[in-house]
Amino acid sequence: MSVDRLISLAAGVVQEFPPENVVYAAAQAGFNATGIWCDPDTWSNQRTRRVEKALAETGLCALDLEVVWFKSGEALKTHDKMIEAALELGARNVLCVSSELDIAQTKRRFEHLCKRAEAGSVRVVLEFLAITEISTLQQALNVVQDVAHPAGGILVDTLHLQRTGSEPEDLNAIDPTLMPYIQLCDASADLLDSSPEGVLEDALYLRQLPGEGELPLQETLAALDPMLPLSLEVRSRALIQQYTNDPVARAACVYEATKTFLETARVLV
């Protein structure tokens, strides 16, 4: 893999471990970037210092911090703490999704976070997925383009791109400046269970390592900047069961599979 391209371990792959441990695990596995899972209800200044120390010791880039989840009835400042944590840690992106029923409120909340991010170089990216109100690529683009704030962007997840009816070629029409990174995983071609529970199961536990499934990953990556940072969002029950108490081994499994896939796919040439 290119030594310059950021390849990140998504926080969700090892979500049950403390975020500072995830940083060390990502570094030991070979990643040069990592995601940070931030639970605002339990996050503290001490946790910020521990994660900050881990990032400094490993030299890893904090590619993103997640997840801001917009919900109806929340105060506008509900998620400010997430932006503050990202700014302190030097994270490049804050990931958000929206279950807010009013699209105008989603735009208002998104714009608010973008303005909060102006104090640093943090991007606020809106992810689309079938179980939220912003459930398609076009809906996410509409929000980001209507808000039109330079800190705003979209996040494409290869699983959600396919599951919500888009094709890799749809990415060709998007302004590259709106996509600061992409989440990568493989999966079965078809959703096994289309119920809400099945969609959630698919996203949280049935993802596969790059190259093991049937998603058009090569075509997706071919539509993007070859140096676009990748976040490996391989949430997998199989990996959890195989590496229950070993985040380093789990991370290494994801990294080695990704390395093999990228080299085989020749997407970095």
SS3 25: helix
Express each pLDDT in 164-178 by its tens digit: 999 999 999 999 999
Express each pLDDT in 6-15 by its tens digit: 999 999 999 9
CB 221 within 8 A of CB 169: no
Cα–Cα distance for residue pair 232/10, rounded to 1 Å:
5
Domain locations in the chain as residue ranges:
7-265
3-state helix, strand, coil in the chain (%, to 5): 45, 15, 40
* Class in CATH terms, 7-265: alpha beta
Task: List the structure tokens of 192.
Answer: 């096994």
| pLDDT given for residue 2 in this prediction | 60
Cα–Cα distance for residue pair 266/269, rounded to 1 Å:
6
DSSP output for 116-159: HGGGTT-EEEEE--TTSSS-SHHHHHHHHHHH--TTEEEEEEHH
Express each pLDDT in 170-221 by its tens digit: 999 999 999 999 999 999 999 999 999 999 999 999 999 999 999 999 999 9
DSSP annotation of 174 reads S
Residue 266 has pLDDT above 80, yes or no: no
| pLDDT given for residue 269 in this prediction | 35
Over pLDDT 90: what percentage of the chain? 96
With CA atoms as reference, report the closest residue to 136 among 161, 99, 158, 101. Answer: 161
Which class for 31: exposed (0-12), middle (13-18), buried (19 or more C-beta within 10 A)?
A: buried
Residue 268 has pLDDT above 80, yes or no: no
Express each pLDDT in 228-244 by its tens digit: 999 999 999 999 999 99
Single-letter residue type at 267: V
